[in-house]
A and B are shown apart, each in its own frame.
Chain A
Amino acid sequence: MSAVTAAPPGNKPGSKDAKPGKKVSERQRPLWLLTPGGLLMTLIILIPLLLALWISLIDLDQYTLRRWVEAPFIGIGNYVESFEAGLPKSIWLSVSFAVLSTAVTVPIGIAAALVTQNAYRGRALVRAVFLIPYVLPSFVVASVWRTMLQPDGIVNETLGLGSTLWLSGPNSYWTLVLVEIWAAWPFIYLMALAALQSVDNEVHEASAVDGANWWAKLTRVILPYLRGPVLLACLLATLNHINNFTLPFVLFGAPAPDDVNVMPMLVYVTSFQGLRFGLSAAMAVISLILIAIPLYAYLRAVRLDVDK
């Protein structure tokens, strides 16, 4: 319990205050409790993030890394260069991959939630099965699909496709999308199921009394309830797709084939294989700007506070 015992002595709120209730805690805010967590987060998150901004403005590579404090300041030079170093294509790949994956997983996820809403024998088992792709670690999913999609692997064998290349060339993009869909739809399912379970029983009864057929009930009554939560899930899922490094990295290796050189791969290869740290920091900052739009929308939608 280092976090708790690290407190300075002599801070005993209750002993001095006779007044009960909220006012005691209001006046005697034990903000020192924030110190261990806050200090650590400043040290390992805030400072590195600011440093990343700084690195994007200096010419940092394997030669200057040893003495990076003295690396030359080149302003927006890295940003200009990143647009010539394949960034626009990566942005396009990342965005289309993310949007496509989200668009396909939403109907699958909602359908899965609908079929497990009503109780029946064996439902618990079906629900557990639906969670499997989600529970499996990304690197495991990528490793097994990589094995199955080898030219002499089981997928080509079963589908009779000869030795189609899934892991290089133009097909690789679709491999990435399909494996991501396979792994990511249960997230939408979970969010949709949670929303579905919060629909009041009266709503069901009312539409039964009205004699609505299942399609009318589904599209006019039930789905509107899902809109908010599913939209939120979409935002988050899209962000996760854009930031997904593990899947392309383990599926295709680094450097990735041209058609799957998504943003995280580009940044990774530029920094840790090309050793152009300044350039890749600029790319990473641009990718942050890219996700800022859905992230902003998500932050506005998510419930931050106790009262609101």
Chain B
Amino acid sequence: MTAQAEAQRLLPRPLLVTITVLLCAMVLVPLAYIVLASLNSDVGVASGEFWPSSFTGESYSKIWTTADLSTGIVNSLIVCAATAVASALLGTSTAYVLVRYSFLGRLTILRGLVGLQSIPGTLMLLPVFVLFSSAGNYLGLTVIGTRWGLFVAYLTFALPFSTWVMVTYLRGLPRELEEAARTDGASTLVVLWRIVIPLSLPAIVVSGIFAFLLGWNDVLFASVLTRPETHTAAVALQIFGSAQEGGALPVYSQMMAAALICAAPVVILYLLFQRYLVGGLTAGGVK
């Protein structure tokens, strides 16, 4: 160990090892069980096996007929991708103005963007539900139960969040390039399109991914605003889980497989964009 590393040491080695092992066990033991149970048979899991007596992938093939997971995943992908694209694009242009120009009410908007992330979802869902259902009553428009209704509902929290992520990024971007372009006669649109967007592309992608994840992880809005054909993956899993307690033979193995399938897109996104996403987490300070 170098002298510098030695100076930076914070904990004595035995303590460091103990804490690391304890924390890893806390995470990995349940996780190992989940993975093992998903590779077990339903009967094996029900009999209380931790280590499967025989490994099988059949839970992963059965689950598609037991639960309506494929519909849910397709719906989730469609709605969340639309939410991601819309909020990343709108968020970028809004954030650019908020960061670069001063005007009356600017601080209020910034505060609002941060504050909105901590507003109870139920408070937001209630009026959205009433508005959507009155669109049905007064205008003869079906909104509740459609994918685009859910998309609009997701924008209520994804848009302020993406905008805030872009604000935290863009304020670190030096102005000089933009100013040079302006001196050369470039219009705002050209500056935005040729300079700001290319320079902040990673942040735009991250803000889009965050919007996607917010939608993918949502249960509240989806449980109220969807019907069986437009269920999201989260609702499909939740319904499947609560249907387990009917007294019939429990299918815990398939339950674990379904949960892991629902987690897979999120885990993949994190693996691909780990560096950016973790940075964004601490910058935006919100999951």
User: A-side interface residues toward B, CB under 8 Å?
Assistant: 1-4, 7, 11-15, 20-22, 24-26, 28-31, 33-34, 36-38, 40-41, 44-45, 47-49, 51-52, 55, 60, 65-69, 108, 111-112, 114-119, 126, 128-140, 143-148, 150, 152-154, 157-158, 182, 187, 190-191, 194, 201, 204-205, 207-208, 214, 217-218, 222, 232-233, 236, 239-240, 242-243, 245-246, 249-250, 253, 263-264, 267-268, 271-272, 277, 280-281, 284-285, 287-288, 291, 295, 298-299, 302, 304-306
B71 at interface, CB cutoff 8 A: no
B210 at interface, CB cutoff 8 A: no
Q: Report Cα–Cα, A287/B129, bound state, in Å.
A: 19
Q: Identify the closest chain B residue to A249 (Cβ).
A: B219
B5 at interface, CB cutoff 8 A: yes
* Interface of B, helix, strand, loop or mixed by DSSP: helix
Q: Report Cα–Cα, A132/B27, bound state, in Å.
A: 7
B77 at interface, CB cutoff 8 A: no
Q: Identify the closest chain B residue to A7 (Cβ).
A: B189
Partner of A49, one of B34, B124, B244: B124
B205 at interface, CB cutoff 8 A: no
Minimal beta-carbon separation of A148 from chain B (angstroms): 7
B78 at interface, CB cutoff 8 A: no
CB-CB under 8 A from A246, the residues of chain B are 217-220, 234
A133 touches B27 (CB 8 A): yes
28 A-B residue contacts at CB 8 Å?
A: A2-B89, A14-B183, A25-B100, A34-B97, A38-B109, A41-B159, A48-B131, A60-B130, A112-B23, A114-B19, A136-B267, A137-B217, A137-B262, A143-B241, A144-B30, A145-B30, A150-B245, A191-B285, A222-B10, A236-B285, A236-B286, A245-B122, A246-B220, A250-B238, A271-B122, A284-B122, A287-B120, A291-B118
CB-CB under 8 A from A40, the residues of chain B are 90, 155, 159
Partner of A45, one of B27, B116, B184: B116
Decide yes or no: A30 and B97 within 8 Å by CB, A49-B124, A154-B33 being known contacts: yes
A52 touches B252 (CB 8 A): no
Q: Identify the closest chain B residue to A46 (Cβ).
A: B112
A55 touches B127 (CB 8 A): yes
A304 touches B155 (CB 8 A): no
